[in-house]
A and B are shown apart, each in its own frame.
Chain A
Amino acid sequence: MVTYIIRRLLQGIVVLFGISFVSFGAMFLAGDPTNLMINETWTQDQIDDFRHRMGFDRPWPVQYVDFLSNAVRGDFGTSIRTTDPAFSLVIERMPATLQLTFASLLFSTLGAIPLGIISAVKRNTLPDYLSMSFAILGQAVPLFWLGILMIQLFGLQLRWLPISGRGTIKHLIMPAIALGTFSLAANARLIRSSLLEALGQAYVVTARSKGLAERVVVIRHALRNALIPVVVIVGLQLGTLLGGAIITETIFAWPGVGRLTVNSIYNRDFPVVQASVTLLASIFVVTNIGVDIICAYLDPRIRLAVD
């Protein structure tokens, strides 16, 4: 088990290196930010001087190695637009993003379980059709549109919830639901199919033949196994959610990392982009290592295979 964890951690580090490399390369291809910084009044000398001071005139592998050697010491440099440290710009917005992402993860997972169970157990009946139609619709509405509709309905017409911003738990409800709906739908469908698969397995048949109540069979025997792939998927969904958070943060004026990152990409603020992409990816990687460990712990088969 320990070697498994160590191996996963090492893999995670490789992934982080890969990500920093990819984002650095992509940003480099996008061009250096000098043209965006300078204004009417700069002379060519000033421009060259700026490029030189910022180190944009060096070959990119040099820039990358320089970046890496600083980054491993936790220094992502300072934003090229302001003198703020890139790392702290990202960190101060991280709580908002994590709160939103994990709240919607919670919503999508907890909401999906009853939907999935109902439609699997009542397969091909009205409840199944209803909950699956609901789930499929949830995947068919673009996130930004869902957000706009929710603001109009719950924020403006009914005045149940605050329209935008971050503050109380009430502020969290609409963004979390908007962001989580797609995943909720996906999870509900996944739970349905993996539960159906589990219900067909030999051990469930055995349990049934022992005369156990259907409720017990479903919840105790089938659901346990059906949830394992869900746990794995939920970990992976974190990536989708962190990405989707950019749109949600824009619609609901949620002060998270996503908006910062998008603006930094547009402004070619390399250090901030690097810092936020690396941090977001780290969260993803660490969470998924956690998920894998939980799965290994829960499922004896995986545990044995690992050891």
Chain B
Amino acid sequence: MDPNFAPYIAVAMIFVLMALGTPVFAALALSGAAGIIMVEDLHFLMTRLKSISYSTTAVYTLTIIPLFILMGSFAQHAEVGKKLFDVASRWVGHLPGGLAMASILTSAGFAATSGSSVATAATVGSVAIPEMKKAGYAGSLSAGAVAAGGVLGVLIPPSVLLIFYAALTETSAGKMLIAGFLPGLLTMFVFMVGIYIIARRGPARAAVSPRASWGVAVRETRKAWQVAVLFLVVMGGIYLGLVTPTEAGALGAFVAFLMLLSHRPSWPGMMGRIVESFRSTIDTTVMILFTMVGAAIFSYFLTLIQVPNQLAQAVVQSGLDPYLIVAMLLLVLVPLGMFLDAFSMMAITIPIMFPAVQSLGFDPIWFGILTVKMCEIGLITPPVGLNVYVIAGIDRETPLPEVFKGAFWFVLMEIVTIAILFAFPAIITWLPRVMSS
């Protein structure tokens, strides 16, 4: 078998298997496995797979996923999420797409506490989607908004990905973190404008609730004190240096659990609610991590045959105009992001791209933020888009392709954002410069 054909066959297989209704994790695992067999053999595959299920799931930082989903689930049963959205809808519900905008704002707020996109999408998704549905939003818009809002998680500090880039390139981690802040706000702003445009064009997509008076809005806000408590516990805990983000997930879930216990209307059938929260959290966690195992097998295959390296290498050696090289390097990350997770992408491509970018005289922090933005896009593009899977797991009524369709609008908005950041590097470099002097 000519190994050059293997990636094409494997990629085609993903789409065929998915179309047949094969669970996504299996579609990825089988396609990756077929690729590995094509370039090695069955024995090699079975040897490699011995530890992959364990090594993909026994990861401390992933425990943040069930914890924040559990928090969201308890909060929802305690009607905390409903209150949050009552507040949001009083303030912005009269705008086209107001609730979707509110969920972007919530994502940004949450991103300031969590360094993980998946956790951000899972938490905001489990609270916001049911409320948006009740308000009559189309599934694609509501699901797309929270899937995309999740990507703010790795951009607005804290962020594991920004630190990883800093370590790979030996640039200042502190500056990288600060540098993510303004681009995070810009992304948030572009998303909200984008939602406004989408919502105005299709009224059914974004029902509008009547405008509330200021008095009502303020009164509703006071009722949502529990939301404030939850945010204080999670955000305050991290910022005061009491807990790590993962620990904050546990603490947040625990506090939401107490809120559920003290929510009088929920007392009848309380045990059922608790078990249901646990069970639905387990369902979603299993789905996400199985998908990650499948993606790990596929990613192993692409890494093994060095597809990412070859693409990056080709651009670096192309001898194009410097700005064009950087643009091409970033574009290479789009197809890679369709299949690989952000960490693998960075680990493989940055050592090849970074020396070239640096020798061309570009700012490492500017390039770092642009790279992280490109990796973010991978979280919402098919066929492997983890944020989209998380949201589709939470919102079971909206079919997967619909969620991807909704997320695609946000991919376009991301490209707009990246173009702005590319053209105006100061948005990225200004804050770290000011803060360090």
Note whether A and B form a binding pair.
no
**B interface with A by C-beta (< 8 Å):** none
